[in-house]
Amino acid sequence: MQHGGSSDSAEIFQILADEYARKILLAADHGPKTAKTLSEECDASLTTIYRRVSTLQDQDLIKERNTVDSDGSHRSKFQTSLEELHVDITDGQLSLTLETRDELADNFTSLWSDLRGDD
């Protein structure tokens, strides 16, 4: 995903300037987490977590996964989809490049490696 000098880049910079958004991205990078867990780990209210998660989802920086517990209750868990972020300054222009995780491709690569016996 490329964001060159556009309003999208400015919006992403603004999102990443937010302390809670950064905390959520870091906490959710260690596996899927519920909003309650993120609230505890980020020392933020659930309202703050849901607002920031919504903003992060709008920019594809975090993904929501729905799970079903053993008792049949449904739960949403959130995981960071941002893999890398690169900022370049060239000729007075900021250019932002985001790399997100492609879980399907990663799973296929892992499966193919297992089938081939790669280490």
Distance of alpha carbon 23 from the chain centroid: 11
CATH 1.10.10.10 fits 2-116, yes or no: yes
Give the separation between CA 53 and CA 38, rounded to whole angstroms. Answer: 10
Question: How do the domains of the chain map onto residue ranges?
Answer: 2-116
* Residue type (1 letter), 98: L
Q: Which residue has the tokens 């594809």?
A: 60
Query: For residue 96, what pLDDT is reported?
Result: 83
pLDDT digits (tens, 9 = 90+) for 60-87: 899 998 888 788 888 899 999 988 888 8
**Confidence class for position 1, pLDDT limits 50, 70, 90:** very low
pLDDT digits (tens, 9 = 90+) for 5-55: 455 778 888 999 999 999 999 999 988 999 999 999 999 999 999 999 999
Model pTM score: 0.73
Among 117, 86, 94, 85, smallest CA distance to 5 is for 94
Query: For residue 34, what pLDDT is reported?
Result: 95
